[in-house]
Structures are given as C-alpha cells and as structure tokens.
Structure 1
C-alpha cells in the first residue's frame, strides 16, 4: 500500500495559520506539519501539537522570514534585526551563522516539549548547494529525516539521509482545485512513501499583512477538507502517514 505524508508548512507563523492546519488535520487529510520556531505563533502551535499527538510535527527551518532565534547571527539580519530576504542572504550570510541559527531553531523546538519528526525549510533553502551540507550535518546530529530536494539544486548525494521516495510541491498557487490535488495524489501511487507539500490556513491579520501567499491558503484548506479528496484517498488505498514512518525505514 502506498504511504502518503501530507505536510502543512508554516505551522507557528500565526494563530490563523495554526488553527487552519489543525482543522486540515482533524477534519481533512493533513497528517504532518513543520513549525517555524522563530515566528510569533510558535508557542501556540506547540500547545496545539501537544493536544494532537498523532499529528507529526517537524522543524521548518527559516532564514528569510521574521527574526532569528539566536541573538548573535549578524550576517543574517538587516539593520532592523529582521532576516534578510533571499538576495540579502546570498550577499551577506555566513555559513557559521546559518548553522548556529538552524541549531537554535531546532533546540527551541525541543524546548517547547516536542520531539521533531523531520526537517524541511522555508522556501526550500535547505536545498541550496551551500546550505545543504549544514542541514545534512544537523539531520545526522539529531537523527532526523529531511524533506527531499531535487538533484538539480547541486547538493551532495541524498544517500546519507532518510527521505521519502518522492516529494511533490505542485499544490501551490492561484488556480488550485480538488481535481489538481487528486492528480498530485495519483503521481505518488508508484512510490512506497511520498510527501505532498501544502499551506492551509485561516486568514488573520498577520498572514494577510506578512505573506504574499495568503488568501490561497483558505482555498487549500477547503480542498484538503473536501469529501472528494477524502474519498479519493480511500478509493486509491492510500495509507496516510507521517515522517515517523520514514525514521524507521532504511535509507532511501
């Protein structure tokens, strides 16, 4: 039977995002989430995670949204103390500061009373050829699986880390439909275990002002809780899973 992890990114961004993810878990098909431990909603997300222990929760490593967890990573921040945008990161970021900040984010997650299931990153920055070795090192240190990144991004072999067989990031954008999500599910059927990335949320002021991807998240939530999607997963005999099952597998 095909195993499928449906992961909700950005857990911890805000209360609206957190509550939308929990709705998609309780009344939809989301099985997993990854938390931005540097964002204002992190403590609220952790409380929700503790109330819902069967939701797999990992760490959504962040370098380009909000502020750092560490109080001493000067190359990662602008004059206001916020993370640089991606172009600023490429110009100023020092690898030692990236490793320090990523470590602090994982340790903050642990301090909230949670055990992480895996690592991924905001805007897929862990796939950057200079950043990937840091994530590989931390994944081995904490014994965690990592979201699969494509070979085209120039990083080293994935053979040292536990990953799913297939990762799909296509459920994103302005034209999302139930049919599209079911098409994405169909792409996972030939693999033993896969992950599909999602971003469900209820909209609040924080996400409306802070993210260019806001109203689309409500559409995602509607699709992820739809009866059509639930029925498709049952009919296709898909076993919904979390990264806990990847942890117990041999290296992919």
Structure 2
C-alpha cells in the first residue's frame, strides 16, 4: 500500500505542478479492486489535498461519511448502442431519479484525426457531441429541472473550508 500512496501522491503533485487544479480523485474505469485499504488511502489523500473522491458502487462505499457521492448507477456512453442514442439519452433524462447521477459522455468531433486515432470509438464520441450540443437538450434539462454539475461543486461539498481546491 505504501507504493500505491507514493504513486497517487506523485500523480496529484504532477497535476498541481503543471498549474492545473484537480477536483477529485478516481481510478481508471472506476476500479480500485474493491480493496478497502486503497479506498481509505484515497479518501485520506483527498482530505489532505482538498479534493473529492469519485465514489460509486457498494452503496457509495456506505456513503463515505455522509459526503456527496453518486446515488444511482453510473452510465457510460460507450455502453449504449449508436442507433437511437439521442432518443435514448432524452428518455433517460426524463426518467432520471432525484439525486446525484453520473454520466460519462465522451464527446468528439468525428474528424479524420479522431477516426485515425480511435477507429472503433469515434462514432460514439461524435454521437455524444451531437446530442450534447443539440437544440433541445437545454430545454429538456430545464423542463426536467436537472442541474448539470461537475466535480468542482462536489469538491466544495467535501471541503467547504478549502474554497478553491488544492494548491
């Protein structure tokens, strides 16, 4: 676990040293291996650096001491079929339950460079972009009283005393 801590710290410090302002800690593809020691280390480092933790599964790891975590199943746009995707997004928004939901959408242009770099994924990214910038999305969000947030707001709830995050 000591090696994991060294690696996590190095990653956060590298981001901060580059002049970026991280908002949260997470794991690639949301996997921490289900290890409580890694999870607890991550929560402790988030506290030290004034960050939130992207928590899902196992009832938000028992709601992480009352802090805001995702309340519902995670949605990854790569898991949705391309056919009828915009309509499905709209239906999912209309059916969205109250609480904090997380959708991982992956917008991209679908240009020649995107097609070359990601021949199997560019269509997913292009369909996400088309939906996100479509004329009706803002109205639908307003109509359903859905507020889009990012991890800056979540971080502020985890660490109201920190104000602007790490630094």
Q: What TM-score, normalized by structure 2, do the two folds share?
A: 0.71
User: Aligned runs of 1:53-72 on 2, under 5 Å?
Assistant: none
8 Å contact from structure 2 (residues 46, 53) kept in 1: yes
User: Partner residue of 2:162?
Assistant: none
User: Partner residue of 1:198?
Assistant: 105
8 Å contact from structure 1 (residues 200, 217) kept in 2: yes
User: Partner residue of 1:172?
Assistant: 78
Match of 2:133 among 225, 232, 244: 225
User: Partner residue of 1:106?
Assistant: 12
Q: Aligned partners of 1:100 and 1:207: how far apart in 2?
A: 37
Q: Number of matched residues?
A: 153
User: Partner residue of 1:239?
Assistant: 147
8 Å contact from structure 1 (residues 169, 196) kept in 2: yes
Q: Aligned partners of 2:93 and 2:12: how far apart in 1?
A: 30
The CA deviation string for residues 125-150 of structure 1, in whole angstroms up to 9 with x for no partner, is 23x21242332222222121122210
Q: Aligned partners of 2:14 and 2:25: how far apart in 1?
A: 14
**Runs of 4+ residues deviating >6 angstroms:** none
Q: Aligned partners of 2:29 and 2:77: how far apart in 1?
A: 14
| Higher alpha-carbon deviation: 179-188 or 108-117 | 179-188
Q: 1:250 to 1:117 in 2, by over 3 A?
A: closer
Q: Helix, strand or coil: the match of 2:79?
A: coil
- Identify, as 1 or 2, the structure richer in strand: 1
Q: Aligned partners of 2:76 and 2:23: how far apart in 1?
A: 23
Q: How much has 1:151 moved relative to structure 2? A: 0.3
- Identify, as 1 or 2, the structure richer in helix: 2
Q: Which runs of 5+ in 1 are unaligned?
A: 1-94
Q: Which runs of 5+ in 2 are unaligned?
A: 160-167
Q: Aligned partners of 2:96 and 2:69: how far apart in 1?
A: 11
Q: What TM-score, normalized by structure 1, do the two folds share?
A: 0.50
